[in-house]
Amino acid sequence: MGHNTINGVPFDLQGHRGARGLAPENTIPAFLLALDIGVTTLEMDAAISRDGEVILSHEPWFSAVTCSHADGRPVTLDEEKSLLIYEMTAAEVAQFDCGLRGHPGFPDQKPMAAFKPRLKDVVDAVNAHVEQMGYTPPRYNIEIKSSPEGDSLFHPSVEEFAQRLYDVLTEKELLQMADVQSFDPRALEAMHALDSSVHLVWLISNDEGFEANLAKLSFLPAIYSPNVQLVDAVLVANAHQKGVTVIPWTVNEPEKMKELIALGIDGLITDYPDRGKALIEELNSRQ
């Protein structure tokens, strides 16, 4: 699992939406920065355009917080939910800027021109950077952003969504290097039906517990990925007993990272991979 270890044990340091605390989320500059910092895995969110391209975006629309029209006008709250990626071609999506305004919630994020890219273009940029710099190729953790309410409105059916993502992973020879994650059990079931060898990640934000959540899937996920608040020693032990790895989100404070690492988590997802990398180096230097 990449090149991060703690006391010799592999540790999956994942850059959330690339490196959201430092560069515009889900953009090529953020993913390349995460590689330079030394993440194991690039975490990202997928949407589908009208012409069937896999586009990286957390929302299925253009956020009023960060995005601007081609002429520089900021997207307003009133209009954002009418600017749907699923109703635009990939070329139309690329006309919007989502980096120059920065992000008020992330004061360390460096504002820069950036757009919502196609997954295939991200993979090409990452491959070129990895080759140029001599890095270990990263893993990809790609979220299918779907919900029953969003079907045919914000995205295609989960079956089509899974197929389109699967096709890109196949084309880019990433099937062995990718995890597919979702909060939507239907999306995970659709991907599992396509190819049961794909590593699937069960994203969890409810407090119903490990067993109850596992019961919602017809198969055992490779990774259980809970909100950071839901992690305790019992959860980690129960997951490991079943051969499931535990990778919580979104862990930004070094003290919290340290506490979770002591509980035995297998990796973590952070907006600040630089903080995670520094902590890993600190823990290893104590040996």
Q: Is 60:154 a contact under the CB 8 Å cutoff?
A: yes
Residue 286: predicted pLDDT: 87
User: Closest Cα to residue 116, out of 136, 141, 99, 139?
Assistant: 99
For each successive 10 residues of the chain (287 residues), what is the average pLDDT? 84 98 98 98 98 98 98 98 98 98 96 98 98 97 98 98 98 98 98 98 98 98 98 98 98 98 98 98 91
Question: Between the CA of residue 156 and those of 41, 56, 164, what are the distances in Å?
Answer: 27, 15, 10
Spatial separation of the C-alpha atoms in residues 177 and 184, rounded to whole Å: 22
Residue 3: predicted pLDDT: 84
Residue 2: predicted pLDDT: 54
DSSP string covering 26-94: TSHHHHHHHHHHT-SEEEEEEEE-TTS-EEE-SSSB--TTT-B-TTSPBPPHHHHTTSBGGGS-HHHHT
Instruction: Enumerate domains of the chain plus CATH numbers.
Output: 5-61+116-285 (3.20.20.190)
Cα 226 from chain centroid (whole Å): 13
Beta pairing partners, 2: none
Does the global pTM surpass 0.95? yes
Q: Is 88:50 a contact under the CB 8 Å cutoff?
A: yes
Residue type, 111: P
Spatial separation of the C-alpha atoms in residues 41 and 129, rounded to whole Å: 15
Residue 18: predicted pLDDT: 98
